[in-house]
Amino acid sequence: MKKQFLTIAVLCALLSDGLWAQLKTLSMAEAVLRGRTTLAPASLRQLQWIPGTEQFAYADNDRLVRVNAIDLTADTFDILPALNAELVRQGERQLSTLPNCTWLDQHRLWFRESGNVFIFNIAEGKLSLKTWFSKEAENVDVHPKTLWVAYTYRDGLWISIGGKELGVAQSEADGIVYGKSVHREEFGIRKGTFWSPSGRYLAFYRMDERMVTRYPIYVLDSMPAQVRYIRYPYAGATSHQVNVGIYDTQSGRKWYLNTAGPSDQYLTNVAWTPDERYVIIAIVNRAQNHLWLNLYEVATGKFVRTIFEETHDKWVEPENPPQFVPGSNTDFIWQSERDGFNHLYLYDLSGKLLRQVSIGPTPVTQFLGFSADGTRCFYQTADESGLNRYNWASDLYTDNEKEAIGPNEAGIHQVLVNSSGEWALDVFTSAQTPRLIRLVSLKRERPTVRLLFEAPNPLADYLIGQTRLVTLKSTDGFTLNGRLILPPTFDSLKRYPSVVYVYNGPHVQLVTNSWLYGAELWMHRLAQEGFLVFTLDGRGSANRGYSFESAIFRRLGDVEIEDQLAGVRYLKSLPFVDTTRMGVYGWSYGGFMATSLMTRPEAAEAFRCGIAGGPVLDWRMYEVMYTERYMDTPQENPEGYERSSLFNYIENLKGRLLIIHGSSDDVVLLQHALRYVRECVRKNKPIDFFIYPEHGHNILGRDRVHLFEKIERFFVENLR
């Protein structure tokens, strides 16, 4: 019996070797260029609910599929030939692929193409041009019902209605900007225009940057050399000034809300009341520790009242505007971390707290909307570990228990709820599941779950190593989540070099219970080349609650280094880790961390080499809004700024450090890297430096392949 078992084991080993030999290896170009496309789990593209119906739709190649949720009967529309015929008839160029479409109802959808907004009627096969605007337009904002378009051109703001252009506001001087995002896109700000519900009015930002430091960006191909200037408000320096204007498309009149207060306060989370009588703005002071949710009368621009205030001894950070309950002009959902976790609060415009909708140590990570009758709302939360995402339906006005949307097995659930609130599409992934899409009935009398789509493993033909989840403890008792990727041919009796990929800064979480545990494919390429690749989300990172995230306050780098070194100790405890061959890599905040881990005395030569991409090297050179939230101003916290400045630790640099920067980086200025390199030269410290000409804060396109091939070569040369 024993002999037979040994024979089977040998046969299995030979078979395994044969299968392994047939598997492909990833090139870095594949990992970078295809990691989010053909080598990512397949999905149903353009998946969306059709408003006012129990139907959903998605794109299948260049066809549209419309599905009835009740019985899953489907219609397929091959609309691209009809679209192209209509486009040619109207003198427009043909499309090579199906455009990104948004459904208006069960027969009509709209899309943008080359400065045009079209409506296509599937039932009639007709294409109509709704409006058009300049092809040079930027910051395009289409009203979801009227399809009127607000957009910026240079620093001015325009509206197009049926091709008729309305000049809302034009820049009076260099440094005055209309209709663009402000406050460097902090506080959840992603745009600078805000349509009213009916589309009659447009609220917009006016930003005056004339008092802000001008910073030169090198223009490569001009002869002689030229520069273009951006406005960059350094921490502690003068910031820009913002107002909110209102434009009436009927009368052409423009006026401003009376947001009186200090000129450098922040105007965030702009929202309209459903009746268009009022605009709500969350006002945050420069210190970012006091919020006023203010109500302004649209007709006059007058301040009406403060609905409520929030304060904290560290920071308040509103990131989501009020969401009004359907059928109500007064009741709205507000998101706040006031009790230690981001939660939903139901208020009315008088400032009365009607009910706290979500509770507990599970922060809300996404608000999904309301039922059509305004009795329930839907939202996503992280669990206590931070690894999983679950979705819930809660009654707004009663204390009934929340109800899970769908099966809620461990993993990441992204849910789309239809306009009635009776159906949901659950897009699910986990470490073991590439992607599932399920239809979920939210009708209490007949809950059902049906599988619609299951993605195959996109890496089934590739040599991919095992990914392990690691949990460690911080010194103050928090559980820290880590991810360890092993080489595909891992042998526990061998000793391997390791690369730590780090970010560990605010608003970012790298380890989740998603496909491949959230790792990018370039990490698997490194593992394929014989490296262990490790990542740890330490204190300061996202979705773990206020105490976890605010542990970095006024001392950026301290607890983050402490937690990353706990990860290093874990690696060193593993018998298959070569403790003499460890490297670290990070970008942006991760670049700050990588440089810190190469030079701060706490790290004590833990790493032989490191790569810092686009790193913040002295927080006094970073921008106002982000830096002062976490550090206060340099004048208020000189000790914290001095301690976190990596210029103070250059003497400790022992291993090889490569700094990479984009020459046109307007987020972390090139000044950080150039000054740091200069100081390394002055101190006779070895430093490697590489610039990507005319790239911004991220190296994108095909040049990204060059970046990661360079990263791989660096670690091969120094660790293998």
Catalytic residues: 588, 665, 697
Pairwise CA distance, residues 552 & 619, whole Å = 13
Find the length of the chain: 720
Pairwise CA distance, residues 485 & 480, whole Å = 17
Which tokens belong to 111? 């899309």
- Residue 560 in contact with residue 593, Cβ under 8 Å? yes
Pairwise CA distance, residues 403 & 59, whole Å = 31
Residue type, 602: E
Residue type, 312: H
Pairwise CA distance, residues 690 & 612, whole Å = 10
Which tokens belong to 233? 């408000």
Q: What are phi and psi of 704, to 5 degrees?
A: -65, -30
Please, what is the Cα angle at 409 between 451 and 377, to 5 degrees? 85
CB-based contacts of 522, cutoff 8 Å, min separation 6:
28, 31, 32, 35, 708, 711
Residue type, 581: R
Pairwise CA distance, residues 101 & 22, whole Å = 41
First to last CA, the chain: 44
Please, how many CA atoms are within 13 Å of residue 472, restricted to the half-sphere of its CB? 22
Nearest to 437 by CA among 407, 467, 403: 407
Residue at token pair 């529309």:
77
Please, how many CA atoms are within 13 Å of residue 567, restricted to the half-sphere of its CB? 34
Please, how many CA atoms are within 13 Å of residue 645, restricted to the half-sphere of its CB? 16
Residue at token pair 């084991």:
9
Residue type, 509: Q
Pairwise CA distance, residues 589 & 677, whole Å = 18
Pairwise CA distance, residues 470 & 497, whole Å = 18
Which tokens belong to 717? 């040369």
CB-based contacts of 260, cutoff 8 Å, min separation 6:
303
Residue type, 82: A
The b-or-e profile of 140-177 (16+ CB within 10 A means b, else e) is bbbbeebbbbbbbbebbbbbbbeeebeebbeeeeebbb
3-class secondary structure, 518 = helix
Nearest to 281 by CA among 262, 264, 298, 299: 298
3-class secondary structure, 224 = coil
Residue type, 569: R
Pairwise CA distance, residues 64 & 60, whole Å = 6
Please, what is the Cα angle at 390 between 385 and 395, to 5 degrees? 125
- Residue 357 in contact with residue 345, Cβ under 8 Å? yes
